[in-house]
Structure 1
Amino acid sequence: MTRATQKSAQAPSGKTTAQMQQPTEAGVLTEPWAHLVQALGDMSSEMAKFIAKRIDEDMKVQQDLMHCRSIADIRHVQLSFFEEAFKQYQGGVVRMFDIGTHALQERPSD
C-alpha cells in the first residue's frame, strides 16, 4: 500500500488508517487497536512461558535417558515425554485460543 493510498483508506469508523495508527497524546494506541496490542503481548508472554517449560522438559528427558539401564527404561522415558509434551502443546493451543477469543470479544463497537 502506498503512502497516498494509506492516508486515504477509510476504516468502518470513518477514520483513515493513518489516523487509527496514531498514538494518543499519552502515548497509548487509540481504540480499536489497544486491545489487540494487549492480546499480542499476552500471547507473546504465554509463548515465552511455554517455550521455557518445554526446554526444561527436554533437559530433564536427556538426563533421564542417560540413567536408563535397559530398552524398557528408554521406552518408558520416551512415552512419558511424549504424553507430557502432547498435554502441554494441547494446553498451549487452548490458552492461545482463549486469549484470541477474549481479544475479539473485547473489541470496541464502531
Structure 2
Amino acid sequence: MTTNKKAQTMPGLPAAWFSMDAVEKLGDIGAEFMGFLAARIQEDVKTQHALLHCKDPVELRKVQEEFLQTAVDQYSAQAGRMTELTNAFLASMMLPPVDD
C-alpha cells in the first residue's frame, strides 16, 4: 500500500503551498522584513547619537521631528512593499484554472 507523503505531512493544505515559487515568496517577505528592521534600528541609533549631542531644546525638537518624519516615511513605504510581496505570495498559491 502506497501513500502520498505530502498528504501525510500536512493534510488539508493545498499542494501549491509546497511549490518552490511559494517558498521563495515567503523568503522574500522574511528578507524584506529583516532589512526593514535593520534600517529602523540604524535610524534609532543615529537618533540617539544626535539626541546626546543636542545643545539646546530647539535642536532637540528638530532631531525628534526628523526622527518621526523618517519613521512615518519608512513605515508607509514598507507597508506598500509588504502588500506587494504578500500579493505575490498569495498569487503563487493560486491553483491554475481548470479547463472543462
Counterpart for residue 87 of structure 1: 73
Q: Does 1:98 align with 2:98?
A: no
Counterpart for residue 7 of structure 2: 18
Structure with greater helix share of residues:
2
Q: 3-state DSSP class of the match of 1:32?
A: helix
Code of the aligned partner of 1:108:
L
Q: Does 1:109 align with 2:96?
A: yes
Counterpart for residue 27 of structure 2: 41
> How many residue pairs align between the two structures?
89
RMSD after superposition: 2.6
Structure number with greater CO (CA < 8 Å, separation at least 6) is 2
Structure 1 runs (4+) greater than 6 angstroms displaced: none
Contact map agreement 2:26 2:89 (CA 8 A) in 1: no
Normalised to the residue count of structure 1, the TM-score between the two structures is 0.69
Q: Distance in 2 between matches of 1:78 and 1:85?
A: 11
Q: 3-state DSSP class of the match of 1:68?
A: coil
Q: 3-state DSSP class of the match of 1:93?
A: helix
Pick aligned residue for 1:59 from 39, 45, 50: 45
Counterpart for residue 16 of structure 2: 32
Normalised to the residue count of structure 2, the TM-score between the two structures is 0.75
Q: Distance in 2 between matches of 1:48 and 1:103?
A: 17
Q: Structure 1: any 5+ residue segments left out of the alignment?
A: 1-14, 23-29
Provide the identity percentage: 33
Code of the aligned partner of 1:48:
M
